[in-house]
Amino acid sequence: MSIGLIALLDDVAALAKMAAASLDDVGGQAARAGAKAAGVVIDDAAVTPRYVVGFAAERELPIVGRIAAGSLRNKLMFLLPGALALGALAPWAITPLLMLGGAYLCYEGTEKVYEALVPHQAHAHEAQIEAGAESGQALEDRRVASAIKTDFILSAEIMAITLAAVPEGGFWTKEVVLAIVAIGITVAVYGCVALIVKADDAGVAMARSTAPAVLGRLIRGFGRALVKGMPVFLKLLGIVGTAAMIWVGGGILVHGLEAYGLPWLGHAIHEAGAWAADAVSPAGGIVAWFVTAAGSGLVGLVVGGLLIPVTSHVLVPAWKGVSQLREKAA
């Protein structure tokens, strides 16, 4: 009996070692997948703060919380099972769906550029869009809905990159890795966003510090610098977020075209980056990245520019027509 017990304990120990190895493998794959998605994560963190600009200070964290909850819901309830199902049943559908998402990012980013360059016409375009939306919707609800919609596209790209990073894993491994990345990235992104949007309030508190002597002067000086610097930082972050949407969307479209046997555009952008890197050898990698991002951004601007009139003159009237039909049917 003692021999049987020892054998059983050996089996339990072996299973525990296998489980630990599996957990280590899942953790390693999640870390690698998260690293590969880092570019889109940065884009997500840069895009979100602009959705809380203009609201009262007491509404900033609740808005970030609502967007974070919507982002997590997107990832766990829709994108995770959708990614697993598409990977297993219809892998051919992943690329066109990602390209649609990329086109949407191009449109969103280019619309912001259009608004900055031609404000009067851009306001007319926005009025058309809002006329096609639900009436009576509060500004905060519209901002949150828009942020969650944009986050859905960026999250879809994150989940697709994560899924591609674990091609050899089993179904449950992929599910656990996707869940870990989804939760970890959401906490990291919106934790950073919360810190960014409340930094000015922290600066005000520091500027009022009553700490004595040199330490107090340092704290108050840093607080005043934080209060003065945060509006500039948020504006720069908004510009980075807009640029990020355009170049990420353009990059998705370029990679999608390569998947459909049209690699010439991607090759041209890559060759331009390689040429620039050779021309400036000490900082070749950085220069190549900037040139490649600029090439993808140019594609994004062209696609977004084409989609602005299409949205105004085709998609919005079509949506209004469908809404009217629904109202008549009701």
Mean pLDDT by 10 residues, the chain (330 residues): 42 40 48 50 66 74 90 90 83 82 85 80 55 55 84 79 68 79 84 84 84 83 87 80 84 89 91 84 79 92 92 80 75
- What does the pLDDT look like over 136-170, one tens digit per residue? 356 788 888 888 887 887 788 778 777 766 666 67
Please indicate, yes or no, if residue 14 is contained in any of the structural domains: no
Please indicate, yes or no, if residue 15 is contained in any of the structural domains: no
Cβ contacts of residue 61 below 8 Å, gap of 6+?
A: 194, 197, 198
Please indicate, yes or no, if residue 16 is contained in any of the structural domains: no
**Residue 129: which domain range?**
23-329
Please indicate, yes or no, if residue 40 is contained in any of the structural domains: yes
Cα distance between residue 277 and residue 287, in whole Å: 6
Q: Are 258 and 112 in contact (CB under 8 A)?
A: no
CA nearest neighbour of 98 among 86, 109, 116: 86
Cα distance between residue 313 and residue 301, in whole Å: 19
Please indicate, yes or no, if residue 208 is contained in any of the structural domains: yes
Please indicate, yes or no, if residue 63 is contained in any of the structural domains: yes
Give the number of domains in the chain: 1
Quick one: tokens of 317? Answer: 């009237």
- Say which amino acid occupies 223: G
Please indicate, yes or no, if residue 155 is contained in any of the structural domains: yes
Please indicate, yes or no, if residue 12 is contained in any of the structural domains: no
- What does the pLDDT look like over 41-97, one tens digit per residue? 665 666 677 777 667 778 888 888 999 999 999 989 998 898 888 878 887 887 888
